[in-house]
Amino acid sequence: MQPPRLSASMSHDVWRKRAMVRSSTGTQIQLLSEDSETVPTFGVTNSKMNAPQMRKFMQEEVGLWSPDVFRLDIISAGNSLVCAAYNIFKTRQFSCLFKISPPTFINFILAIQNRYRSTNPYHNHIHAADVLLTTDTLLKAKPLETVFSKLEMLAALVAAAVHDVDHPGRSNQFLIETNNQLALLYNDNSVLENHHLAVAFQTLAVRITL
Annotated binding site: 127, 163-164
Quick one: 61 exposed, middle or buried, by C-beta within 10 A (0-12, 13-18, 19+)? middle
> Binding site residues for Zn(2+), as ranges?
127, 163-164
Q: Minimum distance from CB of 123 to Zn ion (Å)?
A: 6
Find out whether 31 and 12 touch, Cβ atoms under 8 Å.
no
Of 24 and 107, which CB lies nearer to Zn ion in the complex structure?
A: 24
C-alpha 57/C-alpha 136 separation (Å) is: 15
Contacts of 9 (CB under 8 A, 6+ apart): none
Site for Zn ion in 14-53 (CB under 5 A): none
Q: Minimum distance from CB of 192 to Zn ion (Å)?
A: 10
Q: Is residue 115 within a helix (H) or strand (E), and if so which, with residue range?
A: helix 102-115
Of 107 and 203, which CB lies nearer to Zn ion in the complex structure?
A: 203
How many chain residues bind Zn ion (CB under 5 A)?
Answer: 1
Q: Does 130 bind Zn ion (CB under 5 A)?
A: no
Write the binding mask 148 to 167 for Zn ion: x where contact by CB under 5 A, - elsewhere. ----------------x---
Distance in angstroms between the alpha carbons of the first and the last residue of the chain: 21
Residue nearest to Zn ion (CB): 164
21-47 residues labelled b (16+ CB within 10 A) or e (exposed): bbbbeeeebebbeeebeebbbbbbebe
Of 92 and 167, which CB lies nearer to Zn ion in the complex structure?
A: 167
Q: Minimum distance from CB of 3 to Zn ion (Å)?
A: 21
C-alpha 142/C-alpha 153 separation (Å) is: 14
Q: Minimum distance from CB of 127 to Zn ion (Å)?
A: 6
Of 62 and 132, which CB lies nearer to Zn ion in the complex structure?
A: 132
Identity of the amino acid at 135? T
List, by residue number, the catalytic residues: 123
Binding site for Zn ion (CB under 5 A): 164
